[in-house]
Chain A
Amino acid sequence: MSVSYRKDMFWLAGLFIVLMLTPTILPNNYYLTIMILGCLHAMIAVGLCLLVGHAGQISLGHAGFYGLAAYTSAYLSTTWGLPVELSMLAGVVLTVVVSILVGMPSLKLKGHYLAMATLGFGIILSILFTETVDITGGPSGFVGIPRLSLAGFELHRDVDIFRVVAILLCLLVWLCFNVLHSRMGRALRALHTSDQAAQAMGIDVARHKLFVFVLSAGFAGLAGVLYAHYLTFIAPASFGFMFSVELMVMVVLGGMVSVPGAIIGAFFITILPELLRAFEDIEIILFGLILVVCMIFLPDGLAGGSARLWAWVKTKLALGCSRG
């Protein structure tokens, strides 16, 4: 077991402990809701971190996968009356199948063209969510979705849902770390540097790209079904182009290649608008400004920035100690 793998596992343990302690610190359910959404966003962000940061394949369509899973599960459980667990499973499976169908032709494209293909796919899906009123309820949303339940027990309290979501997030992060430290992870990084070089080393480029694309879509699907059965209400506005962009921002803000960074980025982008809510009218101005300033002054993301801050504090402390 390598040193870096052990470091990652320590980080994961830390994340788990912090998440488990969180409900005890939070004063009320409003904060818990934000934390649950943060966890869901973090799930998608870690998947995207693998896809974008490590394999170097951009996607601006993940909000579509998120929505597809949410609507599928909502439709099956509400309109057809299937058990929640089963419809959630169906939602994730459908998302995975669709991502394979979309990924196969799209991943042959590169760079901006790939961005456009995934973007177009996301927009087509969001138009479908809005226009197929009979199935999705249209722009006013899908109401009356049953709440999340596990093995027949409905989770009434938000705290319980938070624990489930947090544990699932930790599991996904564990999965990510294991992928990254495997032969697969090294192959993905090779792809990022150069398709041709990777191919020359005997890596099946198309299959690896598809694997990580489908994996990240699956993560988005899982987050989507949880979202639908937590809020019990979904509307197309949550799954639009801007959300895909926000997801990318989370990953880049986290430093692109860092899984912990992606999680921090996800929570940052989820919590920031809530903090800014007090400023009402200038909320969106501040959001844009903070985004620009972060990217200018923290080119390697929040994770890199905090690492540098930590190093700076340590040298200062060391200086202080040696003087004292």
Chain B
Amino acid sequence: MSFLTVIDFSSLLQYLITGLTLGSIYGMTALGFTIILNSTGVINFAQGEFVMLGGMMSVYFMTALGLTEPVAVVLAVLGTTVIGALVERLAIRPVRQSPAINLVIITIGVSILIRGLVMFFWGKDTHVLQSFSGDTPIMFLGAAIMPQALWVLGVSAFLLVGFKFFFSKTLHGKAMLACSFDVKAASLVGIGVERMVLLSFMISAFVGAVGGVILAPITMTSYDVGVLLGLKGFAACILGGLGNPFGAAAGGIVLGILESLGAGFISSAYKDALAFVILLILLFAKPSGLFGQKDSKRV
């Protein structure tokens, strides 16, 4: 396809919906990145692995343990949340005082470890998870919408509203927000910073796993899907402006739509390259992300 393809409305709508669906997952991954970043100042390279674990665990629980899909999915999300807590307890907490770069390398090690374990125990095969409510597309203004896409959009919207409530109304949410502004000040007003870090890893793993579970029926899942998803999630974070959870979610959606339009109208081989080119241009034009505030620092 080339630039000259006549852009008709229904295919544009189709690409937009695909992009929105994919973008929601990127946004959720980005949300996970942001939550850990805010409490620790560290980019968690294992975030993509949480997404992968959500999908792979559901598949495992269904095929090996014979559970029904809803039960398997809930167990997978809970299981990943526990793993998130374990990662924080075993790999991050013992070295909390180390420089950020060391912690980043540790999360890289953890992601290699998780990938290796999944590959060893569950193999290298690609798995499919069944769509939650059938595969009959819904026709809407000439575009076909898969029911699973509606699940993705619905769950992401629900989670976003949930987080908005969590961060603005609950004590724990406000405490986490305080940590993201200034860890020392937060601990001075009596917030248990260590507990908040643990909580942030659990929430990130939870969001990641939810994303992985609802994505698995659309794109299939295997032990190594986490790497690229992690990268896209990180890109979404940057696009939205680091540290702002809702900017991150919006960044994900922008990235997903860019990618889908690029694949549809220009070239599917270069869709990722295209998304990154646009990302770089945006970065150079607006160095603190689309929704980030320009931070001024006292010298």
Contacts and interface: CB of A to CB of B under 8 A. Distances in A.
Interface of A: 105-106, 108-110, 112-113, 115-117, 119-121, 123-124, 127-128, 131, 194, 196-197, 241-242, 245, 248-249, 252-253, 256, 281-292, 295-296, 299
Nearest to B100: A111
Interface string B33-56: 000000000010100000000000
19 contacts: A113-B288, A115-B43, A117-B280, A119-B234, A124-B276, A127-B270, A241-B227, A242-B227, A249-B108, A252-B105, A282-B120, A284-B116, A285-B120, A287-B112, A288-B115, A289-B109, A292-B113, A296-B94, A299-B102
Interface string B41-80: 0010100000000000000000000000000000000000
A287 B105 contact: no
Interface string B259-271: 0000000000110
B119 interface: yes
Contacts of A194: 299
Contacts of B116: 282-288
Nearest to B271: A127
Contact of B231 (A109, A119, A256): A119
A120 B235 contact: yes
Contacts of B111: 288
A-B pairs with lowest CB-CB distance, top 9: A288-B113, A291-B109, A288-B112, A284-B116, A285-B116, A292-B109, A120-B276, A127-B273, A116-B238
Contacts of A289: 109, 113
Given A113-B283, A123-B276, A245 B238 contact: no
B106 A296 contact: yes
B138 interface: no
Nearest to B43: A112
B194 interface: no
Given A109-B287, A112-B43, A113-B288, A252 B102 contact: yes
Contact of A284 (B94, B115, B283, B284): B115
Q: Which of B45, B109, B117 has the most CB of A within 10 A?
A: B109
Nearest to B113: A288
Given A256-B101, A289-B109, A291-B112, A131 B269 contact: yes
Nearest to B281: A105
B91 interface: yes
Nearest to A133: B269
Nearest to B107: A292
A292 B231 contact: no
B193 interface: no
Contacts, number: 119
Interface in B191-238: 227, 231, 234-235, 238
Contacts of A121: 276, 280
B171 to A, nearest CB: 29
A123 B110 contact: no
B238 A112 contact: yes
Contacts of A248: 105
B12 interface: no
Contacts of A105: 284
A249 B232 CA distance: 21
A48 B43 CA distance: 20
A276 to B, nearest CB: 11
A119 B280 CA distance: 10
A123 B234 CA distance: 13
B3 to A, nearest CB: 18
A105 to B, nearest CB: 4
A123 B113 CA distance: 23
B278 to A, nearest CB: 10
B106 A124 contact: no
Interface string B265-299: 00001101100110110011001110000000001
A291 B277 CA distance: 32
A119 B272 CA distance: 13
Contacts of B299: 194, 196-197
B270 A291 contact: no
Contacts of A242: 227
A292 B110 contact: yes
Given A124-B273, A124-B277, A253-B105, A284 B112 contact: yes
B98 interface: yes
B95 interface: yes
A212 B128 CA distance: 47
A191 B102 CA distance: 20
Contacts of A115: 43
A253 to B, nearest CB: 7
A291 B120 contact: no
Contacts of B273: 123-124, 127-128, 131
B110, B114, B242, B273 interface centre (most CB from chain A within 10 Å):
B273
B106 A123 contact: no
A110 B276 CA distance: 18
Nearest to A128: B273
Given A124-B276, A296-B91, 16 more contacts: A116-B238, A117-B280, A117-B283, A120-B277, A123-B273, A131-B270, A131-B273, A197-B299, A249-B108, A252-B101, A252-B102, A253-B105, A287-B116, A288-B116, A292-B106, A296-B95
A120 B279 contact: yes
B40 to A, nearest CB: 13
A287 B116 CA distance: 9
Contacts of A286: 116
Interface string B238-272: 10001000000000000000000000000001101
A245 B234 contact: no
B146 to A, nearest CB: 27
Nearest to A298: B102
